[in-house]
Amino acid sequence: MSRVLLIEDDPAVRDSLKLALTFQGITVHAVESGEQGLDWLAAESPDVVILDLMLPGIDGFEVCRRIRAAGDLPIIMLTARDDDIDVVAGLEAGADDYVVKPVRARVLEARVRAVLRRAGPGGELRAAEVERAPVERHGALTIDRKGLVVTKGGEPVALAPTELRLLLELSASPGRVKSRQHLLESVWDQGYLGDSRLVDACVQRLRSKIEDDPAAPVYVQTLRGFGYRFGPL
């Protein structure tokens, strides 16, 4: 059974989301502050964190950064506004996805299950991909598709599940341009209603980990107006 940590200070929202997710067979531990959430995480290991951005005390952005610094636990953030500043800041802090309030329980449940699929063993990699080239070398970067291990210059690179799936998707076809829409569908399991900001923020996080100079990327290159491609070419 999947386990979710819900960090939400509004008791009405917290109780309704906990009830709805529990009804769908998800175990939910709910707390009202970032401090309580971080304390609980020090002793427990949920599968997903659902995190409100506007929290008293330590806000959601800082909680997100601390969770991401500690590991690759998937994070879905809750935001009161579909606003570029809030959404982009949350994604850059390390969130994997976001949902705008007021939250529809079925939408949140679908996002939770999509994040769990992406974070699961192999991230549902196609068997043909693994058999085709289980270990690939691209300059200083090595990608072990079967073992899901990425190294740069012989040193392991710690990637969150969504970052890893994005790298695997792009590197499966070096030199081929992939649109944001394609990446939303293949990496985030989101169709035409998906938000391209998810892709752009994840690309920035990925570049910060695999590029020598994120401002002059070699591995994940931008084709303005088209999307992204994997190099080096």
Instruction: Convert the pLDDT of each residue in 109-164 to its tens digit.
Output: 888 988 888 776 555 444 444 455 578 888 899 999 888 899 999 999 998 888 99
Task: Choose the CATH number for 3-119 among 1.20.140.10, 3.40.50.2300, 3.40.50.620, 1.20.1080.10.
Answer: 3.40.50.2300
pLDDT at 130: 44
pLDDT, position 132: 52
Per-residue confidence (pLDDT) for residue 128, from 0 to 100? 42
Give the per-residue pLDDT at 126: 47
Q: Which residue spans of the chain are classified as CATH 1.10.10.10? A: 122-230
Q: Distance (Å, rounded) from C-alpha 153 to C-alpha 141?
A: 7
CATH tag, 122-230: 1.10.10.10
Mean pLDDT by 10 residues, the chain (233 residues): 92 94 93 96 94 93 93 89 78 89 86 80 47 76 90 92 91 92 87 78 94 93 94 70
- Residue spans in the chain of domains classed CATH 3.40.50.2300: 3-119
Taking the C-alpha atoms of residue 108 and residue 13, their distance in angstroms, rounded to an integer, is 12
Whether the full predicted model's pTM is greater than 0.85, yes or no, is no
